[in-house]
Structure 1
């Protein structure tokens, strides 16, 4: 398949393929129609033949080339599969587009320190598990690690110690190996319904980019648990633009991860 794609990647060869799609032609005809010299045309035909795209028919002193449809149909199927995959994951492209727009918008506001202080967000979800189960997904490191980062990230340290003064830490690597760390303290931990903590996002030098103040409530519901997460921003540095811009999409994604993780766990339990 790579050989077919490479053969079709040349403009001159693509024009030859278009001409042969109409009918078989000789080297001389192809050279005249493309404006190439015959030796050049012959070399292009040889490349197409090696890729299985054309067949040569010796007819006495003439050599006539015909296009083969089977390799093109195989390429069509591969391309169709790619298109279906792109369409199936179009929401991820949309997230990137919204994130870029958010960065541009936030950049216009970030002209001073603490420019986003007081910014508030609220996230709500209904989860298919009892509050005590959901609680454990927040305070047990192995369970927390299973959902508490976008899927493209690798968590290297995460914990929320469910006691006043306990550590709150999230550290992960992106696909390029860059490290991101957030750390803070737990203020309230009332199992299994209320968890309050803060997390300061640190830059490469260890300085605070911004602090997120989180208030999590879990309420029993007929469907399982209603989750509400309130987030307020403080200590905002000018350089925090990409972090602030990604809060809405990032937390929406990881909370969806939490729902999916709990749902899958329920399905595999005997």
Structure 2
């Protein structure tokens, strides 16, 4: 496939492929149609033949080239697969594009310290399992580490002391950075404010700016659980204080990012 792509990348060779797609043609005819010298045309055709996309045979004094369809069909199939994957993740309404728009809006709004103070976000999820099970997944570090990071990221360090005044630390990296050699993509520190096992967890968490140069903002998060049938209704109130001008990119990702973490929590509970 690499040799084929390299061969087709040259405009002159691509023109030859297009001509051969119409019908087999001799080297001399192809040179005339492309306005190129015959030795140069021969060289391009030989490259295409080595790549497996054309074949040739000598007829008298003429060498005639023909296009092979199978390599192009295989390439088309591979490209269609890539296009289908891209359509799933980069369409006009996707997370990537929505986040980009949100970043632009927040950057325009971040004109002074405190610009986002008081802003709130609300989240709701209907979860499988009773409140006791959900509580475990929200307070036991090994279980929390499985879901408390947006898509494409993984928790690389976590401290969660589920008691009033308990320490809270969250760090995450790229999900594919399994050996921890790449840079930390996010780190936040805070404390637990309120704990009512199986009912309520409240905490403060402040994402740090790149390089650890101060905080971006402080989030005040209240998580309430209530039983509903065999499952649990989860409600989250997420409130911002201490917002800095440099917090725009962080705040732009709250709705999508925190929502993704809750979706992962829901998925984990569903499989248990």
Taking structure 1 as the reference length, what is the TM-score of the superposition? 0.94
1:202 matched to which residue of 2? 208
8 Å Cα contact 2:90/2:96 also seen in 1 = no
Q: Write the distance in 1 (CA, Å) between the matches of 2:6 and 2:92.
A: 29
Q: Which runs of 5+ in 1 are unaligned?
A: none
Q: Write the distance in 2 (CA, Å) between the matches of 1:113 and 1:15.
A: 59
1:59, CA displacement in angstroms? 0.4
Does residue 1:185 correspond to 2:191, yes or no? yes
User: Can you list the C-alpha shifts for 1:48-82, whole angstroms capped at 9, x where unaligned?
Assistant: 00011111110011101011111111112211222
Which of the residues 245, 251, 255 maps onto 2:258? 251
8 Å Cα contact 1:138/1:160 also seen in 2 = no
1:28, CA displacement in angstroms? 1.0
1:97, CA displacement in angstroms? 0.8
Taking structure 2 as the reference length, what is the TM-score of the superposition? 0.93
1:206, CA displacement in angstroms? 4.2
Name the Cα RMSD after superposition: 1.6
1:69 matched to which residue of 2? 69
2:132 matched to which residue of 1? 132
Q: Write the distance in 2 (CA, Å) between the matches of 1:226 and 1:241.
A: 31
Question: Residues 88 and 104 from structure 1, CA distance in 2 versus in 1: closer, same or farther, beyond 3 angstroms?
Answer: closer
Secondary structure, counterpart of 1:29 in structure 2 = helix
1:241 matched to which residue of 2? 248
Question: Residues 108 and 89 from structure 1, CA distance in 2 versus in 1: closer, same or farther, beyond 3 angstroms?
Answer: closer
Q: Write the distance in 2 (CA, Å) between the matches of 1:3 and 1:32.
A: 26
8 Å Cα contact 2:138/2:144 also seen in 1 = yes
Secondary structure, counterpart of 1:148 in structure 2 = coil
User: Can you list the C-alpha shifts for 1:160-206, whole angstroms capped at 9, x where unaligned?
Assistant: 32211011111112465234211111111000110110001112234
Q: Which runs of 5+ in 2 are unaligned?
A: none
Question: Residues 87 and 239 from structure 1, CA distance in 2 versus in 1: closer, same or farther, beyond 3 angstroms?
Answer: same
Q: Tell me the number of residue pairs that the alignment of Structure 1 and Structure 2 aligns.
A: 265
Q: Write the distance in 1 (CA, Å) between the matches of 2:198 and 2:229.
A: 17
1:162 matched to which residue of 2? 162
Does residue 1:150 correspond to 2:150, yes or no? yes
8 Å Cα contact 1:8/1:14 also seen in 2 = yes
Q: Write the distance in 2 (CA, Å) between the matches of 1:205 and 1:158.
A: 17
8 Å Cα contact 1:127/1:223 also seen in 2 = no
